[in-house]
Structure 1
Amino acid sequence: MNLQQRINAFVKLGEFLSQFSNEIIQKKETVQYNELFFDGFKHQLKLAEEHNGWFTKENMAFALKGWSESLTSENINKWLSPYKITTKSPKQVAIVMAGNIPLVGFHDFLSVLLCGHHTLVKQSSNDKHLLPYLAKYLEYGEPEFKGTMTFTEDKLEGFDAVIATGSNNTARYFEYYFKGKPSIIRNNRNSVAVLSGNESLEELQALSEDIFRYYGLGCRNVSKLYVPKNYDFDLFFQGVYHWHPIIEQTKYANNYDYNKAVYLMSEFDMLENGFLMIKEDTSYASPIATVFYEFYDSKELLKEKLKSEKDAIQCIVSNGFTEKEVAFGNTQKPQLWDYADDVDSIEFLLSI
């Protein structure tokens, strides 16, 4: 199977996923193999939602929309054009996936297969329904994929390289366990926003997407604000207010109530609006329903600080602060070439 065959198979998959990219699912007559897979994938989405309360219809549709828009021939070819992909001897690449947001490990899965290697996937128990079904779709659309995709719940064995994602604690375990193999090991990261105080209401409304999408569970979610001294949070609260229905989600509301009680009992200073709390804190990782903030005196000093702590940061959201910044509202819309932790996984896969 050549690279073009692999690309074509994923383009077909993108077309299939486009039917599920809105909360109201719409079947398209032009999509191939619908008679075999459409109803089955609807069932998998239902199972995923029942299994994981964070995987709402809205958030799964958002994730699938992102992948359906990424998996076009134009996007994939643009992504892969800088590389020379000629894999003569496929390797078995183990992928240990997180489960914080729907299909969070799909980019690794896609990368391994496009490079001509085989996948040995260990999924998170929180996100185990969608990807194996999509693998069956790929196998049907391109029969030469058969035998290249394995899913396991057992101990990983017989692999040549590994891409593993987890918490800071599990990353240390991964580094020890996989020390004899070529690897990419990812740990906790968080995203920050740098505000100047001159943002428009529209920019702050866009920022709310970076904060609340997937309930703030992703590494690309903004969990920390850097604001100038004497920053007025009134406009910020206006900007995020349209997300207020989020408090109707039981799991989110439970976290909001719990964390608010902890802050009040601890007599921490914080501001809140009924569905979001903001608290001054030097940490990057904030609890659900909370965003931390920190004041800065100098943008240049802040740049140096963030540069020195880049291993803890996934995205910097701002307007005119730094070269690699992400525009307001775009953290959860990465391109195929926006690598997690800024580690080029295609380059890694071509080197093993």
Structure 2
Amino acid sequence: MDLTSRIEAFSKLGKFLSQFSREKIAEKEDIPFNELFYDGFLHQINLAEEHNAWFTKDNILYALEGWSAALTSQKLTNWLEKYDFSSNTELKKVGIVMAGNIPLVGFHDFLSVLICGHSVLVKQSSNDRNLLPFLAKYLEYVAPEFKGRIAFTEDKLEDFDAVIATGSNNTARYFEYYFKDVPSIIRKNRNSVAILTGNETEEDMQALSEDIFRYYGLGCRSVSKVFVPKGYDFDALFKGVYHQSAIIETAKYANNYDYNKAVYIMSQFDILENGFLMIKEDESCSSPIATLFYETYKDTNELKERLKNDEDQIQCIVSKGFTDSEITFGQTQCPELNDYADGEDTIEFLLKRC
């Protein structure tokens, strides 16, 4: 199965996913094997929502929209054209230990392993176990060559040549020990930050609210902290995010909001809050659910140096004219195929180090 065939298989998967969006869920014509998979995938979406209360239908469909947009022949070809696949002749089995914080969070690793021609052995998180096996089965139908090259396990990974594992900072230490004898990518906790100047428009703040609240802030690309100038007026931020106020109607989010607010009050911490978001001054980049941390800055050059020193903790920087690698307001949850987690080029690893 050559690279062109693998690209075509994933582009067919992208077309299948295009039937499931927040705007409309509707069966389309000319989708291969739709009679076997369309209704079944609707069922899997419902099961995923029932199994994990953080996986609302809106968030699941948002994730599916993103992958549908990415899995086109043109985008896949553009992503891969800079790599040399000619020397990748030895088939390897690559284990993937997936996180489960947001829907299909491990799909990029799954895609990368298969698109490079390797076999994949997946250990899913118990929080996100419904969607990917079903999509893997669809891939096997549109490209039978994938049969026997995709496996899932609920046990420890065994009999593999390389591994990609994602977890917390604590589990990463276990991963580093357990996988010390094979090539590996070990991913740890990361968060995203935004740099505000006080000159942002209301539209900027509304867009930033998507970076903060999408997936309830559980993703590594979710903004969990803002850096603001001394004397910053948070009214502009509160006004910009207010259209997200319905998030407090989600029971799990509301429970976290109430719990964290009680902790802050009993600890006599100073917080600002608007009924669905708390803002607290804190040096950490990782804030609890329903909380946005902040720090103040005086000098942008000093802030740039600070962020450079903390780059192993930061996934995205949202800003306007602050750095060359910045993300536009509202776009952190829309990564391109070449936006690699932790900045580790997964394709390069699979082709040269695996």
TM bin (shorter chain): over 0.9
Distance 1:155 1:304 in 2: 41
On the 8 A contact 1:17/1:67 being kept in 2, the answer is yes
Match of 1:60 in 2: 60
Distance 2:23 2:98 in 1: 25
User: How much does 1:23 deviate?
Assistant: 5.8
Distance 1:23 1:136 in 2: 26
Match of 2:10 in 1: 10
Match of 1:321 in 2: 322
Distance 2:250 2:155 in 1: 34
User: How much does 1:324 deviate?
Assistant: 0.3
User: How much does 1:22 deviate?
Assistant: 2.0
Match of 1:82 in 2: 82
Matched position secondary structure for 1:78: helix
1:221-267 Cα shifts (integer Å, max 9, x gaps): 00000000000000110000000000000000000010011111111
Match of 1:306 in 2: 307
Distance 1:29 1:56 in 2: 27
Distance 2:39 2:186 in 1: 36
Distance 1:311 1:155 in 2: 28
Distance 2:156 2:333 in 1: 32
Distance 2:218 2:239 in 1: 23
User: How much does 1:202 deviate?
Assistant: 0.3
Distance 1:270 1:334 in 2: 32
Distance 1:24 1:248 in 2: 23
User: How much does 1:21 deviate?
Assistant: 1.9
Unaligned runs of 5+ in 1: none
On the 8 A contact 1:19/1:26 being kept in 2, the answer is yes
On the 8 A contact 1:20/1:61 being kept in 2, the answer is yes
TM-score by length of 2: 0.99
Distance 2:89 2:350 in 1: 13
Match of 1:34 in 2: 34
On the 8 A contact 1:21/1:68 being kept in 2, the answer is no
Match of 1:271 in 2: 272
On the 8 A contact 1:191/1:224 being kept in 2, the answer is yes
User: How much does 1:183 deviate?
Assistant: 0.3
User: How much does 1:24 deviate?
Assistant: 3.9
TM-score by length of 1: 0.99
Match of 2:154 in 1: 153
Distance 2:116 2:258 in 1: 46
1:251 is aligned to 2:252: yes
Number of equivalent positions: 352
Distance 2:207 2:317 in 1: 14
Q: Counterparts in 2 of 1:39-54, with a 5 A limit?
A: 39-54=39-54
Match of 2:132 in 1: 131
User: How much does 1:63 deviate?
Assistant: 0.1
1:9-41 Cα shifts (integer Å, max 9, x gaps): 000000000111226411111211110100010
Provide the aligned C-alpha RMSD in A: 0.7
Match of 1:172 in 2: 173
Q: Counterparts in 2 of 1:108-257, with a 5 A limit?
A: 108-257=109-258
Distance 1:138 1:293 in 2: 44
Unaligned runs of 5+ in 2: none
On the 8 A contact 1:118/1:148 being kept in 2, the answer is yes
